[in-house]
Amino acid sequence: MNKGFGTAPVFFTAISTILGAILFLRFGYAIGATGFWGAIAIIILGHLVTIPTALAISEIATNTRVEGGGEYFIISRSFGLKIGTTIGITLYLSQAISIAFYVIAFTEAFEPFFNWWQATVGFELPRQTVSVPALCLLALLILRKGAGLGMKMLYIINIILFLSLFCFFIGPAIDSAGASAEAIAGNFTLRNTDSIFFWFAICFPAFTGMTAGVGLSGDLKNPGKSIPLGTMGATLCGLAVYILIVWKLSASASPTDLSTDQLIMARIAIMGSLIIPMGLAACTFSSALGSILVAPRTMQALAADKSFPLQRINQFLAQGRGATNEPANATLVSFLIALFFVLAGNVDKVAQIISMFFLITYGTLCLISFINHFGSPPSYRPRFKSKWYFSLGGFLMSVWIMFMINPLYTIISYLLLALIYLFVEHYNKDGKGLVDIFEGALFQLNRRLRVFMQKHKSSMASEEWRPSAICISPHSFERDKVLELMTWLSHQHGFGTYFHYIEGYYSKQTFAESQNILRQLIDRQKEHSSALYIDTMISPSYTSAIAQVIQAPSISGMENNMVVFEYDKSRPEELTRIIDNINLARAGDFDVCIFASSSYPIRNRFGIHVWIRETDEKNTNLMILLGFIIMAHPDWCKSQIKIFIATTRASEAVKEELKARIAAGRLPITLTNIEIILLGEGQTVGDAVSIHSRHAGLTILGFREEIIRHDAQSFFTRFNAIGDILFVNASQYKEI
C-alpha cells in the first residue's frame, strides 16, 4: 500500500471540520440565547473534553504503530477487540451520521436560492432536493476516485474557508433598527444559563472535528508524527478562531438579529451574501468529504478484525479496491446510512445524536490514556507525553456533560454500549475483555494499597481484628471441606490464602505440576464465586512448607495472623504432623486453628455451636468472632450461632457476663441462643459436646497450649462422634 500523506492533510481535514457547519449556522443562535459569556462557556466546556482527547490520541499514537481505522484502531489495540468493537461500532455510527449532518448543513448554504424559489413559485422547496443529489454526487466521487481526490479538494476548500473568515473579521457591525450600542452591549452579559447545555449539545459537533484527521491513519506516511502535530495544531487553532468569532459576532449584531438569522455572518462579512455561503458550502462539503473518507475506513478496520458475527459480512466490508485498498463496499454502506438521516433529520436533531456518540468515544480515549498512566505498563513509552490528570479530567467531563445534556439519552447510550458489548462477548469469547483492560491499573492500585497498609499496620491492628488466614494441605482434591471453611472466612470480613502442598524439590517437572494443579483449583473456585486466594507450595517436607508459608507476605496487604491446619477424623495419624508443627506456627504469634473434617456432609441449617469452658479465657472472643464471620457467608444464611457454656458449677454471672460482651460487640446472638451446660460428676466436656452438638453444621472448640504438650492426640480424637469441628487457639485476647 502506498501511504504518502504527511501532517498537512491531518491538520487541514481537522481544521476544516472544526470550522464547519455549526460555526456558520448555530453560533449566532447560541450567542443570542446565552450571551457572549454563555458562548465562551460552551467553547471552554467543549475543549475541556477535546483538548484532553487530542492529548490522549497524540500520546497513544506515538506509543503504538497506528494503522487503518484511526480512533477505532487506537481503542481496539489498547482495550482489546471486545471493547474496541463496542466503541468502534458507536464511533462508526457517529461518523456515518456526521456525513448526513454535514450534507444537511451544506444545503443551508443554498438558503438564498430556497428563499427566491418560495417568493417566485409560491411554495417551499424541500431541502432534500439539494441534500440528496449532493450526497449522491459526493459518494460517487469517492467511490470512483478515492481518498486522493479528497485530499486535492481539501486544499481548495480550506482556501475558500479562510478567505470567508477573513472577510467576516474585517466586516462592519450590522446597521439595523435593533442593533443599537445598548443592544449590542447586552450580548456581553450571561443569560439563560439553564439553556447552556441545550446549546452545547447542538454546538459540540463543531469541536469533534479535531479527530477527523486521525481517521486517515492508514494513509499516513508517519502516523506517530502526523497525528500529534496535526491534531493538536488544529485543536488549538480552532479554539482561538472560535473565541475570536464569538467576540466578533457579539460586537457586531444585536441579540435579536443573532437569534433570528442563522446566516448572520453573511450580513457582517465583506461581500457576505456571496462569500459566507461559499465558505459554508466549502467547509460543510469538506466536512462531509472528511466523514465519508473516515467512516468507511473505520468500518473496514472493524470488518478486518472480524468484529461482525457473520464471516460473509466481514469479508464484504473488509474488501478493498486498488493499490490503496479503498473501502468501496464500506463506503456504499456508509452512504446508505447517511441517506436515511438526510431524508429524516434536521441539523439540530442530528447534532444532538452525534454529540452523545462522540462524547462516549472521547471519554473512552481519555480513559485509555489515564489507565496507561496509572497502570504504568513497561510497554507504554509514548514519545509525546500528556499528564494523567488531563486524561482523567477529560473522561469525567465527557460523562458529566452527557448527563447534563440529557440524563435519559445518556443512560440509553450506555445501555446500548452494554448490549453491544454483551453481544460481542457472546460470539468472541477469546478476545481481551473488561477485566484485562484494567489489569495494569489494578496492579498499581493493589501495590499502593499494600504499601500503605504496611506503613499503617500498627495503627490498623490496634483498631480492629480481622482474620488473614493461611492453610496448607496436600488433599485439595480428596476432600474440599477445608477449602469451604477458608471460603467462609474470606467471604466478607476476612482474607484467606490456601496453598496446595506438593512434596518434593523445586524443579521444572514439579513447577509444571504445580501450575496445572493451580489452574484446576482456580477453575473450581470460579464456579463458587469464591474470594479465596489460591496458590501452590513445593517443598521437601511438611515442616519446611509450613515454615515457608508462615513467612510469606499476604497479598491482602495485611500480615497473615492465623494458620489453619486440617485433618480427616478417619485418619488420626494425620494429627501427628500437625501437632509436631503447631509450635512452629505459634513461634510467629499466629492464632492456630485445627479443622477436623468428618465423613458427614456439611449441615449448614443446623447452625454453628460454640463451646466455651472456664479455661478458654483467651479463646472465647476469637471463637465467637469466627462464628460470626463464618455466618456472613450465604451458605449459612438460614442458620444461627448457639453458644454453650460448659461449667461444673451453676453460675448465671458467667452467662450475664457473656451476654454483656456480645451486646457490646453488637453480635447477632440472642439470649435464647446462650445455654449453660452444667457438667455432672465424672462427665467431661467431650460427653456434653457429643450430646448437644451431634448434628451441628460446625462445632467450634478452644484448646490450650498445655494440651499440645501433654495429651494432644487423646484430646482431639475424643470428639469423633460428631460432625466437623474447628479447634481454636488464640495467640492473644481479641476485642469483640
Q: How confident is the model over 97-150, as pLDDT tens digits?
A: 888 888 887 787 777 788 888 888 877 888 888 888 888 887 787 777 655 555
| For residues 531-544, average pLDDT | 91
> What's the pLDDT score for residue 332?
87
Locate 356 and state its grid cell: 452523545
In Å, what is the CA distance from 223 to each residue of 188, 215, 385, 534, 555?
Answer: 42, 10, 16, 45, 42
* pLDDT at 174 > cutoff 70: yes
Percent of the chain scoring above 90 in pLDDT: 13
What does pTM read for this prediction? 0.61
63 neighbors 381 (Cβ within 8 angstroms)? yes
> What's the pLDDT score for residue 567?
93
> Of 132-136, 364-368, 578-582, where does mean pLDDT reach its minimum?
364-368
| For residues 165-181, average pLDDT | 77
Locate 525 and state its grid cell: 473456585
In this structure, the chain runs to a length of 736
CATH number, domain 456-729, options 3.90.550.10, 3.40.1650.10, 3.40.50.12370, 3.40.50.170: 3.40.50.12370
**Where along the chain do its domains lie?**
7-345, 456-729
- Paired sense of beta strands 495-503 and 468-473, if any: parallel
CATH number, domain 7-345, options 1.20.1740.10, 3.10.20.600, 2.130.10.10, 1.10.220.10: 1.20.1740.10
> Of 275-284, 436-445, 572-581, where does mean pLDDT reach its minimum?
436-445
Percent of the chain scoring above 70 in pLDDT: 82
Confidence grade of residue 460 (pLDDT, cut at 50, 70, 90): very low
Topology match between the domains 7-345 and 456-729: no
| For residues 301-317, average pLDDT | 84
> What's the pLDDT score for residue 497?
92
Secondary element (H or E) of residue 729: strand 725-729
Interatomic CA distance for residues 165 and 399, integer angstroms: 33
Confidence grade of residue 422 (pLDDT, cut at 50, 70, 90): confident
Locate 248 and state its grid cell: 466578533
> What's the pLDDT score for residue 2?
46
| For residues 493-501, average pLDDT | 90
Q: How high does pLDDT run on average in the chain?
A: 81
> What's the pLDDT score for residue 429?
61
Alpha-helix residue ranges (DSSP H) falling in 253-381: 255-260, 264-268, 272-304, 311-318, 328-344, 347-375
Interatomic CA distance for residues 661 and 663, integer angstroms: 6
| Neighbour order of strands in the sheet with 725-729 | 533-539, 495-503, 468-473, 562-568, 591-597, 725-729, 698-702, 608-613, 641-647, 674-678
> Of 277-291, 299-313, 624-638, where does mean pLDDT reach its minimum?
277-291
* pLDDT at 458 > cutoff 60: no
Interatomic CA distance for residues 89 and 120, integer angstroms: 46
> What's the pLDDT score for residue 17?
75
Q: For residue 371, which of 76, 79, 52, 84 has the smallest C-alpha distance?
A: 79
> Of 59-63, 372-376, 431-435, where does mean pLDDT reach its minimum?
431-435
Confidence grade of residue 537 (pLDDT, cut at 50, 70, 90): very high
Q: Give Cα 665 to chain centroid, integer Å.
A: 38
| For residues 182-206, average pLDDT | 78
> What's the pLDDT score for residue 725?
94
**What are the residues whose beta carbons fall under 8 Å from the beta carbon of 619, sequence distance 6 or more?**
702, 703, 704, 728, 729, 730
Alpha-helix residue ranges (DSSP H) falling in 536-643: 542-551, 574-587, 619-631
Interatomic CA distance for residues 579 and 606, integer angstroms: 30
| For residues 400-404, average pLDDT | 86
Give the DSSP per-residue string, 518-545. Answer: HHHHHHHHHHTT---EEEEEEESSHHHH
* pLDDT at 241 > cutoff 60: yes
Residue of higher predicted confidence among 281 and 224: 281
